[in-house]
Structure 1
Amino acid sequence: MDKTTIERFSRGAALAAVLSTAGCKSQSLSYTNPVWDGNLADPAVLEWKGEWYAYGTGSEEETGRQFPVLHSTDFTNWEPSGYAMDAVAEPNFKEYWAPEVVERDGVFYLFYAGNRRMRVAKAESPLGPFKDCGVYLFPEWEFSIDGHPFCDPDTGEWYLFFARDFLDVERVGTGLSVVRLGDDMMSVDGPVKTVLTAFADWQIYERNRKMYDSVYDWHTVEGPWMVKRDGLYYCFYSASNWQTPQYGVGFAVAEHPMGPWKDGGNSEYATVLNGMDNGLIGPGHNSVAIAPDGKTHFMVYHSWNPARTARVMCIDPIDWTDDGPRVINPAFGNKEFVR
């Protein structure tokens, strides 16, 4: 980070510490991780009219309805609410990944990857049924996944953060990009900008991986999620191989959604969330939601269950420290967060 950004970053963290202790009546939130022990990878949470909806990647054998949906009235107890959309009626359409739902002008839009490329579906309810709109957002690329639509809370402008492959960088692999969304929410408006590509050994996906008719030491940075706080934009991301314990969450920071972006972590490990000394296996691909107190940011993420048969959904609060956001005590088991 440059000096100005670091100073703003530190001032914002200090202010948050003061506000959190000044004249505030303590509130508690009790929960048990995982909050959902069925398979729900890449959980993306939407808060709508005081209730929460979680959308995720389902099991590969699901060939009918796609994207399991969970619903909660208190953020801690979740119940299944069916599936978001029907399978797309196109030949050989498969690999439904990483759904996320947002609302704009009374319409709900589901961004997802199908056939490893970004698509959009629409519905009149957060529970669907969502109808696929029939177009790829980036037909020029073979790989564009993990779409995260973000509305700047101050300007009302919409952006799409997503993951794509980079072959012309020092650490070849999957990285993050951003582009403005069109008013129809189904097209892009303007040039695509790079947010972040891999910069560290811990972000390796696989060495000597065969990709694009060649062999690379392949790195992966994926799963973007945006939070604007104290005038700065934070892009959470997950990196490394999702099938391994090394997978975890880092963050980048900028003064505008289109950048320039600076990574806020380090070159040794995932700083925001990782599986070190806490029993979690491959925690990541997160979303961020506001808890029922209306103030506290919670990270919603998946982790492998001990048997490694499913990626299960967990929630834990975020602490905004001088060194950046950190998930507080990520682990399975009974929790009580007191603010």
Structure 2
Amino acid sequence: MMVRFAVLFTLASLLPAAFAKIKPATWHTNGTYINNATTVAADPYVRWDKRSGAYWAYSTEGADEGWYYGIYTSPDLATWTKIPGGAIKNDSTNIWAEDWWWAPEVYYNEKTGWYFLFHAGRFLNATKVAEYFKYPDFEEASKIGVAVSRSPQGPFVEIADRPIDYYPFDPGYDDVNLIMQPPYLVPPSTHEEGKTAPKGTYIPSIDPDVFWDDDGSIWLFFSRNAYRNWVWSDEFGKYIEESNIYAVRLDNAWWNDPHAKTLPSVHSSFKDVHKGEPKDWQTSVNSSFPGPTRKDGWVAVISYALQPQAWENAHVNDHAASGGTLKDRRWSEGSTTIKRYDSSGNPVYYLTYSANNYESPDYGVGYAVADKVSGPYYKSGSNPVLSQDASRSIFSTGHGSVVASSANPGELYYPHHARPSPDDDRYLYTARLFVEPDSLYLGFGPDAGDLRLPSGVAPLSIKTEGGQNGTYELVVRSASGAKFDLSNPINRVRVEVSGGATAQVNGGLVTIDGNATAKSKGSSTVRVVYERARSNETAPWLAVSQARGIDAGDVVDLIIDV
């Protein structure tokens, strides 16, 4: 048997030598993708990894038993392949978090070759809780930790047996939990009563997002966990427990450490800025539970008080609606910050965030803009800019990240989680993201229907890379060499047979019946065509073609002569 590959003739290859210096036209393909809710993922963070030539996704959910954080890889932001295990083994060195393990994000340092995984986790041990939050019964004691690896697929190992060196503190907060009774569902009924509570509280933190500014400064954006943040609302005449988004500058020592053994610490400009506040503060409740002595600062970025928007109020009456089992709450979480410049060269910082309960169909995405990394940030009047659409069976859209295509830094995507029904698990979806700094605009393309593949995926190739006894292993690769999972339901290869041979396809394997060939007269040809699933029910599959410039394109195929 002889295998022949399809030859892709391009306009550039036929031009005279005089045109050799002309920049080659960009590859394009008619290939599309659909968000088909097959990859279980929550709070997904996606990055392009140049070393492996693939996109990598890190998720709160999706890990195997005994691991934290699911990991997936993809050549096209749509065909995701699960990496066995997960990011962090639950019996590895320096495990400090006892619960939650939320919202992983991974960053790569090209100079040192280290990958850093930031994540949130929760303490349950009373002594540890008191060490970071003063009170041994502090409600939902969450912190941020960092693990490292030499590979994007891990395993990642915690830098230290403790979270990052940061003790965010709010000196002006009326700690109404101290005048409430467990389970802390019902706050004081009046603002006057709430003001009688002792002032000051340490801040529980989740959903880290690290941003590198052009001046070399490193910033951590995070969500102040809603627990222990009861905020009085004149609008509703009651206390509402609220999560907000804050920012703090980090030092650079951890990032520059060639051995990745330095734990991130808050920058000196934010360290212990609340020393002496509030007056007569006691660092511990008693000698059995010594509390923290440092009280670090932060910058408020997103909150209802800074700029109220009605769409964030989906759960402010949950206590009555649930018969007293839930709290009245607001959420601001899952932020991502990017920087762009307008036509005059002025910086524009875009911050996306999610609001409302992640379990609710009302979970959605808003954005805010600023001209400095530390703000102030101003919410868009168009919020939410990504939300549920029952007509397309998309619910609970949110907590995503921003990634550029491998070939074009200006072509942005927003991988996020969503549900195909209000009761389903969360799955990985991807939508185009558009920003226009001159108008401070940010918006999304559709996340349903037939969606265009990112630039840089083409040209694709299809080859046989193994097999025996008439069975061939077919491999489709992207331009960077990343493999497509042909068992994924949005990919397939179709066979066309001429002559007397028969052929069957099972995922990436094609089996040609040699006995049938022997009985035939003359030669036989098996053509294998790469296809993508479509949302169009009348034409559910599309043969993928590709070309440069204005050419119509050649089908991605492989011919096997029998």
TM-score normalised to structure 2 length: 0.50
Q: Contact (CA 8 Å) 1:53, 1:69: kept in 2 or not? A: yes
Q: Distance in 2 between matches of 1:188 and 1:35?
A: 41
Which of 155, 161, 176 in structure 2 is aligned with 1:129? 155
Matches within 5 A, 1:216-227: 217-227=328-338
Measured at CA, do residues 299 and 91 of structure 1 come closer, stay the same or move farther in structure 2, by a change above 3 Å? closer
Matches within 5 A, 1:1-339: 27-28=28-29, 30-34=31-35, 37-49=38-50, 50-58=53-61, 64-82=66-84, 83-87=86-90, 93-104=98-109, 105-115=112-122, 116-132=142-158, 133-137=160-164, 138-139=166-167, 141=202, 143-152=204-213, 154-164=214-224, 165=226, 166-168=229-231, 170=233, 172-183=241-252, 184=254, 186-189=264-267, 190=270, 191-198=297-304, 199-204=308-313, 206-207=315-316, 217-230=328-341, 231-266=347-382, 269-271=383-385, 273-276=386-389, 277-294=391-408, 295-306=410-421, 308-320=423-435, 322=439, 324-331=441-448, 333-336=449-452
Measured at CA, do residues 134 and 91 of structure 1 come closer, stay the same or move farther in structure 2, by a change above 3 Å? closer
Q: Contact (CA 8 Å) 2:363, 2:396: kept in 1 or not? A: yes
Higher-Rg member (1/2): 2
- CA shift for structure 1 position 62: 6.0
Moved more, 71-80 or 28-37: 28-37
Q: Contact (CA 8 Å) 2:397, 2:416: kept in 1 or not? A: yes
Q: Contact (CA 8 Å) 1:120, 1:135: kept in 2 or not? A: no
Q: Contact (CA 8 Å) 2:35, 2:78: kept in 1 or not? A: no
Q: Distance in 1 between matches of 2:453 and 2:97?
A: 46
- CA shift for structure 1 position 208: 5.2
- CA shift for structure 1 position 45: 0.8
Q: Deviations over 1:164-205 (max 9, x none)?
A: 044346464001000111221522112310111132232136
Q: Distance in 2 between matches of 1:52 and 1:311?
A: 20
Q: Deviations over 1:88-121 (max 9, x none)?
A: 6768811111100012332211111111321111
Q: Contact (CA 8 Å) 1:299, 1:315: kept in 2 or not? A: yes
Percent of matched pairs sharing the same residue: 26
- CA shift for structure 1 position 143: 2.3
Measured at CA, do residues 173 and 232 of structure 1 come closer, stay the same or move farther in structure 2, by a change above 3 Å? same
Question: Counterpart of 2:339 in 1: which secondary structure?
Answer: strand
Question: Counterpart of 1:243 in 2: which secondary structure?
Answer: coil
Q: Deviations over 1:73-94 (max 9, x none)?
A: 3333221113111126768811
Question: Counterpart of 1:203 in 2: which secondary structure?
Answer: helix
Q: Contact (CA 8 Å) 2:395, 2:418: kept in 1 or not? A: yes
- CA shift for structure 1 position 334: 3.1
Measured at CA, do residues 91 and 117 of structure 1 come closer, stay the same or move farther in structure 2, by a change above 3 Å? closer
Q: Contact (CA 8 Å) 2:335, 2:353: kept in 1 or not? A: yes
Unaligned runs of 5+ in 1: 1-23
Measured at CA, do residues 261 and 142 of structure 1 come closer, stay the same or move farther in structure 2, by a change above 3 Å? closer
Measured at CA, do residues 175 and 29 of structure 1 come closer, stay the same or move farther in structure 2, by a change above 3 Å? farther
Runs of 4+ in 1 over 6 A off after TM superposition: none
Give the aligned length: 307
Q: Contact (CA 8 Å) 1:204, 1:240: kept in 2 or not? A: yes
Q: Which of the pair is proportionally richer in strand?
A: 1
* AA in 1 matched with 2:369: V
Q: Distance in 2 between matches of 1:299 and 1:159?
A: 21
Q: Distance in 1 between matches of 2:413 and 2:69?
A: 22
- CA shift for structure 1 position 278: 3.6
- CA shift for structure 1 position 209: 6.1
